[in-house]
Amino acid sequence: MSTATDTKWVYLFSEGSKDLRDLLGGKGAGVAEMTRAGMPVPPGFTITTEACRQYYALGRSFPAGLWDQVAEALARVEEQTGKRLGDERNPLLVSVRSGAKFSMPGMMDTVLNLGLNERTLEGLRALTGDERFALDAYRRFIQMFGKIVKGIDGDLFEEALSEAKARAGVKTDPELRPDQLREVVREFKRIYREHTGEEFPDDPSAQLRAAIEAVFASWNTDRAVAYRRMEKIPDDLGTAVNVQMMAFGNMGDGSGTGVAFTRDPITGARQLYGDYLANAQGEDVVAGIRTTEPISALRTRLPDVYRQFEEYAGKLEKHYRDVQDLEFTVERGKLYMLQTRSAKRTGEAAVNIAVDMVSEGLITKEEAVARVEPRQLEQMIHPRVDPGASANPIGRGVPASPGAATGQAVFDADTAEEWGKEGRAVILVRVETNPNDVHGMIEARGILTSTGGTASHAALVARGMGRPCIVGASEIDVDVRNRQLSVNGTTVRQGEEITLDGTTGNVYLGRVPTIEPKPSGNFRTLLGWADEVRRLEVWANADYPRDAEKARENGAQGIGLCRTEHMFMEEERLPIVRAMIMATTTEERERHLARLLPIQRGDFHGILQAMHGLPVVIRLIDPPLHEFLPNYDDLVAETTELRVTGRDPDKLAELERLMARVEQLREANPMLGLRGVRLSILYPEITRMQVRAIMEAACDLAKQGVDARPEIMIPLVGTLTELRAVKTELEPVVEAVQREKGIQVHYKFGTMIEIPRAALVAGQIAEDAEFFSFGTNDLTQTTFGYSRDDAEGKFIVRYLEKRILKANPFETIDRDGVGRLMELAVREGRATRPDLEVGICGEHGGDPDSIHICHELGLNYVSCSPYRVPVARLAAAQAVVASGATTK
């Protein structure tokens, strides 16, 4: 290991390059690259991110050798510029800016005009012949230094400035006369003294040292930490510090400052896009104090400068082979390039730019595929809240299903269904949802719940239907009985409009303008390239023929999960299902099941037909039976009312019977109770009916020449004996139907791997299972012992804040735990049965990071909601590109 003193902590811009981004940060690497390309960059140097990490490792002090290297680099900059820091006649002034590896716009600190004191101020005045300018630079420096280095409330300075303007009877800063500005400087220094107990430092070297430390410290401010969490940027990278000669954009009309993108970051159109502000410093643009002009204004104001800038912009884009976000300053007609970095862009722009750059020969198809964030595609599929709309959210929750919707708030599924069928736009608001609410969810434009997480019922049903959904909005008090919600002092009653943004989790009062999606030809082109690259197949979770059609339209290559219980919840079936559950004998139950059979057959017929030629995994009944019965608390309330009023004794008797059965079925931990395969074993007649329905539909279709490919899936299996018992029960049904229909259909029999034991004994389970499908919702729940319905609302958010968890395991597969179980199951399952088909149908199947893991584990496919299929196609291709193997 190198000792601290021989470590290179400081790089002159001329020594760095774009390949040193880890060490120099994005900004440092960018200015170094521009310097090397001979562009006019104000001279300077970069202190490395490693120095920042050491600064923290040493308990917030400079590593040995750092300050000496800063002094050396400064001397070189002084040589290059012919100015000296602190020189009374020809002072060098510098900016001190942060610059991390990944851009964190506006999150960290910057100090400008450093090097000014009463003496250098005179030098600056003499040099520029502009006293007003020099004084303005000085007051800005005191203000920034006070605020950033010493933590003084910035408003104190702003208020003092406003008072000075008021006293002078002027509106804008440039109208202040030099004597008035001198007064401002005096007042700023007084504020500084009052809040720090010391004089404003005159020594430029002390100023520099303090500013560097302040930038290091800004890596760990609350807002920087919060931003990193949101953007999934690691906390241990540290920031670099760039010290650079100041270029002044505020030296009159021949000066100015601007930011520009080499292409339009909203649409991707190939033209310079940006803002210019004449006679201003960079922070004026950001602060929005004055209205900027479009970048084209520079062409009229300073045509030569514009041409030069345009040339550099083109060169930089070619050099980086990506759209650049540029910052520049013009000082008395001389252009200075201050920053170049990859531009942030909308989903639409990302797709258009990637495809355009392939046709321009700038990048390859693989690079184009890797350039677009998969989640950005979601912006193109779902409506979204117009970013230009000036609306303030009334509350927030966990964004569970993307898109935006406005509708009248309703608080129960029946009203949602009724109003929805009348053609009214409704948003269903509940504390939580369960299968009893599905009929209302179908009619709702969006769903909001105050509890639950991303794998809760509301979330996955909404995602499946492509409706925006926000869950776990714990600050919102949902009062179902009084049909209203209240949040932060606002009350919304039934019928009042709200808008949900399922992409951000924001809830708005009233109607907020939204933007409709418009998938383009480029969108299809890019996905076509992704398909050429990817190895994983992409299937979809779909319960209804219309969802299957949507899935196919979006490119799904199969159905990975059809949850049959959702079909049981539909209006005309629920009474039959309930009667079946209430039956006291097997014979009675079978009678009701016989009525359900043709209905289920119709369901399967539709979905198998829609997917002809492609596999359809149909899962047999999974949820605990009480979920099909009325809610216990509602029953208590209703029976109590009937008892008290004495009204309708027949209804009371019926409800009491229902309640008795609900009580009988109630469990302390229903998620770990009588559900999944356990139901098939205790009530084999239910799954016998389901398998008969599947096979009858498949055989009927086969007779019509439709290639139906059902795969029968048993949920929640933990032992081979369970699976074998069910298989023994069901196989004769399959055989019988094929005999009766006189036709053979290709089908598979398999299981979900969704509890840890199943993964651990996968080698045994594969003896009877022809396929595995990872149910990572339950697998995550049972591996961590976290309730999938409660954990996100109760503690996962805190765990993420405290870094106890790096990511929400219900969103992204936990590689170390759940991922390890999956790896074991794939390996041991395939050891038993080499052609074992393995997929995933938990919500993680649509999450790009999880898709990478599935690719690495060698799964055959991922299955996700029909709307996420394009996202998954792209992510699956990116997994291949990331692994460096781009040939199929």
Binding site partner of 143, from ligand PEP, Mg ion, none, Cβ cut-off 5-8 A by kind: none
Q: Which stretch binds Mg ion (CB under 5 A): 288-296, 331-339, 355-363, 750-758?
A: 750-758
Whose Cβ is closer to ligand PEP: residue 49's or residue 434's? 434
Contact by Cβ (8 Å): 565, 583 = no
Catalytic residue among 52, 469, 699, 841: 841
Contact by Cβ (8 Å): 85, 112 = no
Whose Cβ is closer to Mg ion: residue 711's or residue 754's? 754
* CA distance between the termini of the chain: 42
775 is an interface residue for Mg ion by CB under 5 A: yes
Compute the least distance from the CB of residue 767 to ligand PEP, in Å: 23
C-alpha distances (whole Å) from 142 to each of 135, 138, 581 are 11, 6, 77
Compute the least distance from the CB of residue 671 to ligand PEP, in Å: 9
Compute the least distance from the CB of residue 454 to ligand PEP, in Å: 11
Q: Tell me which residues touch ligand PEP (CB under 6 A).
A: 460, 561, 563, 622, 754, 775-778, 841-842
> How far apart are alpha carbons 432 and 448 in whole angstroms?
8
Compute the least distance from the CB of residue 630 to ligand PEP, in Å: 21
Amino acid at residue number 65: G
Compute the least distance from the CB of residue 549 to ligand PEP, in Å: 21
Structure-token pair, residue 587: 């014979």
Catalytic residue among 457, 592, 844, 855: 457
* CB-CB neighbours of 110 under 10 Å: 20
Strands (E), 16-56: 44-47
Residues 581 to 640: which contact Mg ion by CB under 5 A? Answer: none
H or E stretch at 864: strand 861-864
> How far apart are alpha carbons 445 and 821 in whole angstroms?
38
Residue 457 catalytic? yes
Compute the least distance from the CB of residue 18 to ligand PEP, in Å: 43
Binding site partner of 842, from ligand PEP, Mg ion, none, Cβ cut-off 5-8 A by kind: ligand PEP
> How far apart are alpha carbons 205 and 151 in whole angstroms?
20
Cα 501 from chain centroid (whole Å): 13
Compute the least distance from the CB of residue 715 to Mg ion, in Å: 6
Phi and psi dihedrals of 556, rounded to 5? Answer: -65, 145
843 is an interface residue for Mg ion by CB under 5 A: no
C-alpha distances (whole Å) from 296 to each of 216, 259, 303, 306, 355 are 37, 12, 10, 8, 26
Residue 841 catalytic? yes
Whose Cβ is closer to Mg ion: residue 9's or residue 771's? 771
Phi and psi dihedrals of 84, rounded to 5? Answer: -130, 140
Strands (E), 347-453: 384-385, 395-396, 398-401, 404-410, 426-430, 446-449
* Residues present in the chain in total: 888
What is the bridge-based pairing of β-strands 748-753 and 771-774? parallel
Whose Cβ is closer to ligand PEP: residue 583's or residue 853's? 853
Q: Give the interface size with Mg ion as a residue count (CB under 5 A).
A: 3
Whose Cβ is closer to ligand PEP: residue 295's or residue 758's? 758
Q: Which stretch binds Mg ion (CB under 5 A): 29-37, 478-486, 728-736, 746-754?
A: 746-754
Contact by Cβ (8 Å): 475, 396 = yes
Binding mask 24-53 for Mg ion (x = CB under 5 A): ------------------------------
Whose Cβ is closer to ligand PEP: residue 492's or residue 818's? 818
> How far apart are alpha carbons 14 and 213 in whole angstroms?
24
For helices 154-168 and 131-144, the axis angle rounded to 10 degrees is 150
Per-residue exposure over 15-34, b if at least 16 CB sit within 10 Å of its own CB, e if not = bbebebbebbbbbbbbbbbb
With the C-alpha atoms ordered 444, 448, 453, 456, is the resulting torsion angle positive or negative?
Answer: negative
Binding site partner of 30, from Mg ion, ligand PEP, none, Cβ cut-off 5-8 A by kind: none
Q: Which stretch binds Mg ion (CB under 5 A): 584-592, 719-727, 777-785, 847-855?
A: 777-785
435 is an interface residue for Mg ion by CB under 5 A: no
Q: Which stretch binds Mg ion (CB under 5 A): 40-48, 267-275, 749-757, 855-863?
A: 749-757
Binding site partner of 378, from Mg ion, ligand PEP, none, Cβ cut-off 5-8 A by kind: none
Could you tell me what percentage of the chain is helix, strand and coil, using 3-state DSSP and rounding each to the nearest 5? 50, 15, 35
**Please, how many CA atoms are within 13 Å of residue 524, restricted to the half-sphere of its CB?**
7
H or E stretch at 294: strand 293-294
Compute the least distance from the CB of residue 449 to ligand PEP, in Å: 16
Whose Cβ is closer to ligand PEP: residue 348's or residue 778's? 778
- Identify the residue among 378, 565, 685, 778 touching Mg ion (CB under 5 A): 778
Whose Cβ is closer to ligand PEP: residue 28's or residue 775's? 775
Binding site partner of 776, from Mg ion, ligand PEP, none, Cβ cut-off 5-8 A by kind: ligand PEP
560 is an interface residue for Mg ion by CB under 5 A: no
Binding mask 752-771 for Mg ion (x = CB under 5 A): --x-----------------
Structure-token pair, residue 82: 């012919």
Whose Cβ is closer to ligand PEP: residue 791's or residue 841's? 841
Binding site partner of 837, from ligand PEP, Mg ion, none, Cβ cut-off 5-8 A by kind: none
Compute the least distance from the CB of residue 285 to ligand PEP, in Å: 48
Cα–Cα–Cα angle for 635, 435, 600, nearest 5°?
115
Positions annotated as catalytic residues are 457, 841
Which residues in this chain contact Mg ion in the complex, by CB under 5 A?
754, 775, 778
